[in-house]
Amino acid sequence: MRLKVRRGEIVCALCSGPLTVHGCYSRHCLDEVGERHNGWIVQGHCDACNVYPALIPSFIEPHKHYKADVIERVIEVAEAGDNVEHLGGFAADISTMRRWVRAFSVRAEQAVNCLISMLPTVPKAYIDSLDLQYMMPLQQLSRLLTEYHTQEDGGIISRVSTILTTHNCGFL
């Protein structure tokens, strides 16, 4: 992440100005079995608008303790019509998994609408709204991602959050 900032690949989400590395801080996340993984989050700084954004890697969701792929798997199960109570091997509480699903259902609709509204700014992007009509929210986001030229690393939620953050629309 530090190298990307130094090379100018990551810019300020508010003003598109260059970021510098301000520092870093320790952060942990949990995998599906509850094992703790420690790492560092780079703190950037934009001189133009004087903000200090945290440059969170794609495998971590902001304000969540579990890794992004764990949360996404739970949401996939829920959208498939299965009950999250029957998920085996997950360390997260049932109430936590239900909360992820509820929060996603609210925020996914906002994310879909934001991505659709930003499509005219993407060269050669086109999507027929009927394509999305009978899809579940995670499927809609996946389909919309095909129009945006993003790196393939990370899951659907991580990649959508990166696009939304870059366009100053929050995160999923």
Q: Same domain for 74 and 123? A: yes
- Distance of alpha carbon 2 from alpha carbon 20, whole angstroms: 9
Residue 126 contacts by C-beta under 8 Å, 6 or more apart in sequence?
A: 119, 147
pLDDT at 97 (0 to 100): 93
Give the H/E segment covering residue 43.
strand 36-46
Is 76 in the same domain as 161? yes
Clarify whether residues 91 and 167 are in a common domain: yes
Helix, coil or strand: residue 103: helix
Boundaries of domain holding 135: 63-172
Residue with tokens 């969540």: 64
Same domain, 124 and 97: yes
pLDDT score at 89: 77
Q: What is the pLDDT of residue 30?
A: 94
Does pTM top 0.85 for this prediction?
no
Domain identity same for 44 and 85:
no
Q: Does residue 31 sit in the same domain as residue 89?
A: no
Which of helix, strand or coil describes residue 9? coil
| Domain count along the chain | 2
Pair (132, 85) in one structural domain: yes
> Are residues 124 and 75 located together in one domain of the fold?
yes
pLDDT in single tens digits along all 172 residues of the chain: 777 777 778 888 888 888 999 999 999 999 999 999 998 999 999 999 999 988 888 888 888 999 999 999 999 999 998 888 877 778 899 999 999 999 998 899 999 999 999 888 888 888 877 888 899 999 999 999 988 877 677 789 888 988 888 777 777 7
27-65 b/e (C-beta count within 10 Å ≥ 16 → b): eebbebeeeeeeeeebebbbeeeeeebebbbbbbbeeeb
Cβ contact 167:13 at 8 Å: yes
Is there a single domain that holds both residue 75 and residue 11?
Answer: no
